[in-house]
């Protein structure tokens, strides 16, 4: 697949703006959209994510090579499946009942990304960035080969999409660890040993493998 050039971010909160800064610093064109008109978030982006361009969600999705979901998970149903069909989409959202309120579809065994994929049936969804705190997104990025480079896990059912996202993660300053299909995202969600863990690639791979073996025994 061709190297992505335009990265669209839906959401301009702490996660969205931190990602926008990091992605722009890595040399990508960055566009950001919220439910508000572009003119109403222009000043916010000028202050919080210089270089990122405000856009409408429709135009952002159409033009972007990768779309990152960085909005509150409770708003996932506001996403229009027909616009995201065929697009590579990174789900960076988490389910936080204390702030989102109890959402029945996220209270079961399925990972939140499995629910989101069900809504965005045609999207090439990849889960990643969710187990990294927004305050760490820029601070923990390191050049390729750096001994303190942190690992980021990704999972998705589309192998080609995972490959593109892995390359994107690497360029941002993290070592990608491919966990496989979207079902594997259950192993790095909120409350798992991986969530918030600061490990390199080898340690993260071993942690995921160990967690998988325990789950299989149970």
Write the DSSP string, 58-120. Answer: HHHHHH-SEEEE-S-GGGGGGS-HHHHTT-EEEE-----HHHH---GGGSSSS-HHHHHHHHS
pTM here is: 0.93
Task: Look up the CATH number of the domain holding residue 146.
Answer: 3.40.50.720
Say whether pLDDT at 39 is over 90: yes
Q: Does 1 reside within a domain?
A: no
pLDDT at 215: 39
**pLDDT (tens digit per residue) in 77-113:** 999 999 999 999 999 998 877 777 788 888 888 899 9
Alpha-helical runs (H) found in 106-200: 112-119, 159-172
Q: Does 127 reside within a domain?
A: yes
Q: Does 64 reside within a domain?
A: yes
Domain extent, residue 78, equals 6-217
Which residue, among 4, 12, 161, has the nearest Cα to 89 in the 3D structure? 161
**pLDDT (tens digit per residue) in 140-183:** 999 999 999 999 999 999 999 999 999 999 999 999 999 999 99
């Amino acid at each position: 697949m061709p190297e992505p050039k335009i990265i669209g971010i839906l959401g301009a909160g702490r996660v969205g703006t931190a990602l926008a800064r990091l992605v722009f610093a890595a040399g990508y064109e960055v566009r950001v959209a919220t439910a508000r008109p572009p003119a109403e978030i222009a000043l916010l982006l000028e202050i919080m994510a210089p270089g990122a361009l405000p856009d409408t969600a429709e135009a952002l999705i159409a033009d972007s090579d990768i779309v990152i979901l960085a909005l509150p998970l409770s708003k996932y149903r506001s996403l229009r499946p027909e616009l995201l069909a065929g697009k590579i989409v990174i789900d960076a959202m988490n389910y936080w009942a204390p702030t989102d309120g109890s959402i029945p579809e996220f209270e079961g065994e399925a990972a939140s990304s499995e629910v989101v994929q069900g809504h965005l049936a045609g999207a090439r969804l990849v889960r990643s960035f969710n187990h990294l705190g927004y305050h760490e997104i820029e601070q923990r990025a390191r050049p390729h080969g750096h001994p303190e480079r942190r690992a980021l896990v990704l999972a998705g059912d589309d192998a080609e999409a995972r490959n593109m996202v892995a390359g994107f993660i690497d360029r941002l300053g993290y070592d990608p660890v491919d966990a496989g299909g979207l079902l594997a995202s259950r192993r790095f969600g909120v409350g798992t040993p991986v969530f918030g863990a600061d490990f390199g690639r080898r340690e993260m791979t071993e942690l995921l493998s160990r967690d998988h073996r325990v789950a299989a025994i149970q």
